[in-house]
Structure 1
Amino acid sequence: MIPHVRNLKFLFQQRLLSPNCVRLLTTTTLNQAKSTHARKIDEINDEPIKFFGSGAASWRAKDTRSGGADEALWYQQYVISGSVAIFLIYFCILREENDIDQKLEGSLYDHIDGLEEQQLVIRYKYNRDNNVDTSDIEKRLLELGIDARKLDQK
């Protein structure tokens, strides 16, 4: 923040300036700062930019890619490990089963009609085309009431 604006805020807080006066002075100060910055931009220097001795000379690409080494707190890994452990203890051991857990215990074939038959037909055709034993699949298809000989004709 511009030092003059800080001083104006201080004077306003001490009730030495009215809000309108602070607004006018702040606008004037900001306009002066913008014009000074514009003058600096207008002054184009044709000299090459010095690399050695600048901050860019000591900057390593590794710092850009991976960030600084001081980003993580020393106890961060302990906090995360503890939180995950507490969550798993609650979720896997302490939590009571609900109706959703009981639904998930069953087979997917129990919830979706025709899924098992479709899977068996696909496996039967694949195994038949690749000369793999299909006897187990044929037995299960017969239990479900599907004739494997009809599948051979398709």
Structure 2
Amino acid sequence: MASVAGRAAPRSERARLDEAVAQGLYDRMRMVAPAAFGAIGRDRADDPARPFADTACGRLADSLDAAGLRALGMWAHHWCMRFYDDDTRVGLRLVREIADRPGLGWTVDEVRWMLGESEAAGPSAAHRFTLPRAAATGLPPAGRREFAADVLSGAGSRERG
């Protein structure tokens, strides 16, 4: 990744995902999608004040290993970015809960993909940087450099006119 005077490269210069890598991410998300969609649907009809661990989404999240939880987070992030105008409170809660879990072993490619989804969603999706920012902070220092200027600094969270 090219940088200027030690700063992270601008978004326009961010490395693109290899097609095979992107397909692998989609394949992993497809594995958790049916369970995630069902859990979100059940939680929409349930008590929103229920502790997360007692919800369908919480039970699903607790049943997954780190790789499965990352896939669930990426799927929920994608779902919330695409349907931001729908009732996504349950999905956003799931994204926030996953964002709050340290040590999931996020990869640069996963963060890069989520950030691309966030940028494509535009400013209407107010919480679009929640998970990519949390995931980027968990990367090793070399991996964080790519995202330092716009995500980790908070610049990516500012709504653009």
Q: TM-score range by the shorter chain?
A: under 0.3
> What TM-score, normalized by structure 2, do the two folds share?
0.20
> What TM-score, normalized by structure 1, do the two folds share?
0.21
